[in-house]
Chains A and B, each alone.
Chain A
């Protein structure tokens, strides 16, 4: 078994966990969204790595090319990136509203304010 054959997947796991860590360990809501972004990108990397065929070319049909990488993950991730930015912006809009309502975007402060009233 070749160690490097799993390298991409391990990087995906590490990135995913780093993003996850930011989401649960940091109190700042904007930072949480950044962590979520990293998490999301790690999933993209997983899909794109799964679609790669060694020695394959980009999936644009051309004469004389026999082996292509898998186009299906590309399609899924292509749309997922744009959907991702759209949903991230919804999250950011909610952060802005939370800031307007509570005057802070720190999780601890928000919970404290919720507890007092």
Chain B
């Protein structure tokens, strides 16, 4: 598995032309997702499969459609210094790994610090089986709030950067460009069959995240990829009619707001910020309610931000075609 990853990365260096590189990036994402499964990180694999193999190559493709797929050849003289630098740094890092605890040993420092506490007591304190979710949403809720805000800010930054001139700061889709290719009839029919299941699966991942692998981040990305697939096959104007860009932009803010408000609610109830034990008479029930609330916030925010980013790039592509 790891050898395949290295092979893909080497191919990425060797290949010229951005389209081939992007396809290899997608392969790379899928491979690393399967690697994460073998490392017991099922939640991470979920996210990586949706992001690394789906959304990120797609955004790269949209960019390449805007800036052109040609890649200039680099001259050999310029390669010597980077090669030297990389070799030296790599050698130093490999010397550094010799001090690492050997792979998979249960008494490594990473395994003995806080992890046993999470594994032994989260069952009683939080009351949900998926430890990843309880750490993410309850023990380290501050971190996650920060991450959600970073994602939100990134969405805003993309909107600002890609806003067409004179449109008041929002990269809205332009009026429809005529479709110059034959309609993708077969693709459209099949996607009509599959997209509802993708969205349903996203909801399952969202609300089942406490018991199995899943949660807001994964669900948000899966939901967004469903919508983006629809947009790819039916054109940007159609998907903009289904989910108007202003609605998505507001939803991104609403998602982050739900998260923050949950924290403020627990503050008002007399506990610490984001301490959900205050949300119900029984602390464990309170934790349940809190986790469901913030996972919902995360899911909405992530899905909305990724759809917004897609709209911004695709809208840019449309305006350029006119």
Assess whether B150 is in contact with A96, with CB atoms less than 8 Å apart.
no
- Cβ–Cβ < 8 Å partners of B66 in chain A: 96, 99
Known: A69-B39, A93-B161, A106-B72. A25 touches B79 (CB 8 A): yes
Known: A17-B86, A81-B51. A41 touches B28 (CB 8 A): yes
Closest B residue, CB atoms, query A18: B9
Q: In this complex, which of A17, A48, A53, A78 has the most chain B Cβ atoms within 10 angstroms of its Cβ?
A: A78
Interface of A is mostly: helix
Instruction: Check A74–B102 contact: CB distance below 8 A.
Output: no
Q: Which residues of B contact A53 (CB under 8 A)?
A: 104-106, 111
The SS class assigned to the B binding surface is helix
Name the B residues within 8 Å of A14 (CB-CB).
6, 9, 90
Whole-angstrom distance between the Cβ of B179 and the nearest chain A Cβ: 23
A48–B39 CB distance below 8 A:
yes
> Cβ of B161: which chain A residues have Cβ within 8 Å of it?
90, 93-94, 96-97
Q: How long is the Cα–Cα vector from A105 to B105 in the complex, in angstroms?
A: 46
A95 CB to closest chain B CB, in angstroms? Answer: 6
**With A13-B93, A50-B110, A58-B42: A96-B10 Cβ-Cβ less than 8 Å:** no
Contact (Cβ within 8 A) B43 A74 = yes
State in angstroms the CA–CA spacing of A72 and B116 once bound together. 10
A79 at the interface (CB under 8 A from B): yes
Question: A69 to B115, alpha carbons, bound, how many Å?
Answer: 9
Cβ of B259 within 8 Å of any chain A Cβ, yes or no, is no
Say whether B12 contacts A9, CB under 8 Å.
no
Task: Determine if A86 and B155 form an interchain contact, defined as CB atoms under 8 angstroms apart.
Answer: yes
Decide: B89 and A17 in contact? CB cutoff 8 A: yes
Question: Could you say which of B125-133, B194-202, B242-250, B287-295 contacts chain A?
Answer: B125-133
Given contacts A6-B98, A6-B103, contact A86 B140 (CB under 8 A): no
Distance of A83 Cα from B52 Cα, bound (Å): 12
| A77 (CB) vs chain B CBs: closest residue | B44
Q: Are the C-beta atoms of A99 and B123 separated by less than 8 Å?
A: no
Contact B25 A90 (CB under 8 A): no
Tell me if B158 counts as interface (CB < 8 A to partner A). Answer: yes
Interface size on A, residues (CB 8 A): 84
Complex partner residue of A86 from B72, B143, B154, B213, CB under 8 angstroms: B154
Q: What residues of chain B lie closer than 8 Å to A6, measured between beta carbons?
A: 97-98, 100, 102-103
Collect the chain B residues with CB atoms within 8 Å of residue A24's CB.
82, 85-86
Q: Are B119 and A78 in contact (CB under 8 A)?
A: no
Write out the residue numbers on chain A whose beta carbons fall within 8 Å of the beta carbon of B305.
Answer: 86
Let me know if A11 and B2 touch, CB within 8 A. yes
Contact check, B111 vs A70: say whether CB atoms are below 8 A apart. yes
Cβ-defined contact, B41 with A74, below 8 A:
yes
Contact among B63, B72, B86 with A92 in the assembled complex (CB-CB below 8 Å): B63
CB-based contact A9/B25 at 8 Å? no
A25 touches B74 (CB 8 A): yes
Q: Are B110 and A25 in contact (CB under 8 A)?
A: no
Pair B40/A58 contact, Cβ less than 8 Å: yes
Binding stretch for chain A, among B53-61, B181-189, B230-238? B53-61
In the assembled complex, the Cα of A48 lies from the Cα of B55 at a distance in Å of 21
Are A15 and B155 within 8 A (Cβ)? no
Residues 47-106 (chain A) with a chain B CB within 8 angstroms = 48-54, 56-62, 67-90, 92-97, 99, 105-106
**CB proximity to A under 8 Å, residues B1-19:** 2-3, 5-6, 9-10, 12-13, 18
Contact indicator A68/B12 (Cβ below 8 Å) = no
Whether B51 and A71, one on each chain, are in contact in the complex, defined by CB atoms closer than 8 angstroms, is no
B309 contacts chain A at the CB level, 8 A cutoff: yes
Which residues of B have CB within 8 Å of A88? 56, 59
Can you give 8 contacting A-B residue pairs, CB < 8 Å? A48-B36, A72-B114, A72-B118, A73-B110, A86-B309, A89-B59, A95-B67, A96-B63
